Chain A
């Protein structure tokens, strides 16, 4: 079973603190890997401009790194900062990690004339080009994300050990949001791309549990022929893509995500003020209905964080915290470890109808129920 921990705070913190929280949750989990997503970055060695895209990945050979340079150069990216991890390779299980890439680029000059959506598209296409290049060369280049203010890391091994091997305890990197997941996809062959969190155009999610409806959902997403809907080394990647589809393509509010993945039943829709719209949404997004058991933790580009359950709720997750900092974890002890000085009587475990939203101001959490009115007015 995966252990999930996410912390969001106004004041940037080291991801290492989240890794130590994962230690608290070690019981019963295989600790086979680490997946990290950091958002709202701060570097000790560099003053980062949050508009600049950050490339995260691994060059497994010197040659791959060379090709990475070439691809980025060719597209007009200018390197501004190359974060050197204090790597202790003796603590890394895998032997083919030539360089962990965490680089800040200046966007190509040519992009000044294109609008925000196009920029986002180009960033995604560049990431996909890097990924494809690696796949064409025996997987010697892995690209996790290329996005402003987001860094990602995935590695095989005990999560805290990986953190130490990469020198994360030094606090040279901090972030306002940190998502951590402690397992490689040990159900199948290990593939770094199969490790949560998953990322597409600023949207990141990680999930606990198995996605039994994976194939029909994957078939549908692939059929959209959207360039970013690829991968699916893990059945959980579709949750990220559905969130992306709902918020970025359908441009519906975050609350609609819950209505897409776990729509209400007929009698519940009959009593819902927007039942007709939601019934229609259920029909058109029928292939995106998940069957659980899953707890899905996600973050959006504006640093909003969220937690939802599948409709049967067979996977636990708890949220707790205080104004300014909040934590979500698959175990209560994980929340305890991340924010010990909170009022734990206010911890909350969402039920099947809830979407927990932590807005960017992080003052209060919103517990939004599917039975409530849709938060955005619908025309006609």
Chain B
């Protein structure tokens, strides 16, 4: 029984947790269990029966209605709130850099936080009531694309920093010497600054996670 449960779990892993998917999950599980029982009664051994049941439904693509009727206005407000919060988190992330040559990023953080806060406030004041459909799979696609792009970006950034910092050591075969905490801090900050951009894929991820919360029933 547990193996079938795990199989269904795996099928629904990337699906949003809505009442609809919950029901489908239960229905599929009960049907797979019934099939397994049936095969066992016909004389098949446990292993083969379980496998046969699992084979019957390899994925749930196409079974789940992807289009969600959404309260677009409130969804957008939630997104705007997320952007505001993430700008503040970015700003907090720049605070340790105030002691390094990247201190100006703190001012950038201040500007972004204020701007996004004002933007959110404006949204609050002018909210037009709006409903529409949004694709859940679309949101999920944007999320994974954002993460992939960021992954490539950071890998490139980190490699460039490493090349810049240790390149001449590698080329001439000299050992890397780091004299004192100040040098450590400078080196660490070079890797840390591009890392702050992780807030971008995090924001896109949050957008995808928020969408199911704003579905309109009926």
Chains A and B form a bound pair: no
Binding site for A on B (CB under 8 A): none
